[in-house]
Amino acid sequence: MPHLLPRLALATTLLALTTLAHAADGRWCPALPNVGNKLAASLASEVNTHRDDQPRAQPRLHTEGTLPHQGIYDQSVAAKQDFPRMRNLALYVRLHAEDGAALDQLEKLLRAWANLYQPSFNPIDETDFDAYIDAWAISRERFGMDTQSVLDNFFRNMAQGYIAQMRANGGKGTWINNWQSHRIKLVTLTAVLLDDPAMLAEAKRLFRQQLQQNLHDDGSVLDYYERDALHYVTYDLEPLLRAALAARTRGEDWLRLPTAQGATLASALDWLLPYTRGDIVHQEYLRTTVKFDLERRDAKLPGFTGAWDPHSARNLYWLAALLDPRYASIAASLGSPPPWQVACWMS
């Protein structure tokens, strides 16, 4: 498509430059001061629209293994909307230090969840806490010691709980599939947030272990064979890419950490490329071994029948492009990058 070529060239050039700069920068969200006017206006509009919203913090969230309208599924989905809202507020506050009301609103949101939520250590229920970690990492320096202590302790306790569980379990089931990838993401983001070298070293060990137990020699992932679904390939790889992006701020290159057989996170992305380009069409879940997939299909939830939609890999490949600009062209062919990625890493 000729009209895409200038955008693809720009994306590739931009990412080649910013990725190298950010690798040595060491900061979370280093691109933000250079955010463009359009994105800055969008953030301002989002913040102003929700200025009077109250926190929706809950003591517990649960969506894993349930369908809409079952249990606290709907309540949990609504409550989780606070996390991207916090991140947008944090981005806005970085751009508008003079807006004390927005800073107060952000502090109210941050503390409401830290004071009320009790970690379940179910990584599917808690994977969306990555946006909460983003918000705190972006804004932490704006708050006093008391708030810093409350939030730091909250995230440290959650990460340590996940580490303890991963050390005590392993070898099969959810300790080697996508659940483990989500656990590792949360631990890695927290290690970088808290600038904790020992925690980051443990996260790296767990990351390498997950590659070894989850990746096949050709780059395909365990979850593909369990679920017969490319949806679960992206769901398994996205959290590992988020972990790798956080580690990149500490000078680490986890994209190319090899297994004993030479497979890497990059080779897993490359395995998916023919499906993403449309060279191969895959019918989802035809041979899944998981009963819940069939329940979601029978409930007619989108994505659980028919051919896999490559556009669902948009976020995956934009994350990959932040680590390696050779993925920028496939990412751009799938759609625009998420605004928070643009604000944090690409401006």
Given a contact cutoff of 8 angstroms between Cβ atoms, the answer to whether 331 and 317 are in contact is: yes
Q: Which pLDDT value is given to residue 219?
A: 97
Beta strands in the chain (DSSP E): none
Q: How confident is the model at residue 20 (pLDDT cuts 50, 70, 90)?
A: very low
Q: What is the mean pLDDT of residues 225-232?
A: 97
Q: What is the mean pLDDT of residues 277-300?
A: 95
For residues 141 and 158, give the distance between their C-alpha atoms in angstroms, rounded to a whole number: 21
For residues 84 and 49, give the distance between their C-alpha atoms in angstroms, rounded to a whole number: 14
Domains of the chain, each with CATH number or no CATH:
2-346 (1.50.10.100)
Residue 87 CB-density burial (10 A; 0-12 exposed, 13-18 middle, 19+ buried): buried
Q: What is the mean pLDDT of residues 174-201?
A: 98
Q: What angle do CA 202, 205, 210 make, to 5 degrees?
A: 125
For residues 203 and 54, give the distance between their C-alpha atoms in angstroms, rounded to a whole number: 34
For residues 29 and 138, give the distance between their C-alpha atoms in angstroms, rounded to a whole number: 7
Q: How far is CA 155 from CA 41, 132, 136, in A?
A: 31, 10, 10
Q: Which pLDDT value is given to residue 39?
A: 87
Percent of the chain having pLDDT more than 70? 92
How long is the chain? 347
- Of 9-18, 210-219, 336-345, the range with the highest mean pLDDT is 210-219
Evaluate if residue 8 carries a pLDDT over 50: no
Percent of the chain having pLDDT more than 90? 84
Please state the φ and ψ torsions of residue 255, each to the nearest 5 degrees. -65, -30
For residues 173 and 165, give the distance between their C-alpha atoms in angstroms, rounded to a whole number: 14
